Amino acid sequence: MRKLVMLAALLSLATAPALAATTTAKGDIKALDGKACTVTLSDNYAYQFGKNCNFSKLKLGEKIAIVWMLKNNVRQAVQVFVAT
């Protein structure tokens, strides 16, 4: 039981900084790069997605929100959704 409590405490400490460090950016899609897996918003920042990205449902000019976190000075996208 003690080991289980320690494991749960360690896991919560490991995931807390990642959750706390996310930011949401909203804007219109200015550019899509399927090869580099990046989306550039109207704020002129590029957001990096995973290497198996699929932008087929996104359109230039569409208003979206991207939840991202800074990792090695790169804005790593965590989630994307249509902004309201």
DSSP character string of 5-16: HHHHHHHHHHHH
How far is residue 58's CA from residue 30's CA, in Å, rounded to a whole number?
Answer: 11
Given a cut of 70, is residue 8 above it in pLDDT? no
Element spanning 24, H or E: strand 23-33
**Which one is predicted more confidently, 7 or 46?**
46
Q: What is the pLDDT of residues 22-81, one digit of tens each?
A: 999 999 999 999 999 999 999 999 999 998 999 999 999 999 999 999 999 999 999 999
pLDDT confidence of residue 21: 83
Write down the architecture of domain 22-82 according to CATH.
Beta Barrel (2.40)
Q: Is the pTM of this model over 0.85?
A: no
pLDDT-derived band at 10, boundaries 50, 70, 90: very low
Distance in angstroms (rounded) separating the CA atoms of residues 70 and 57:
25
Residue spans per domain, the chain = 22-82
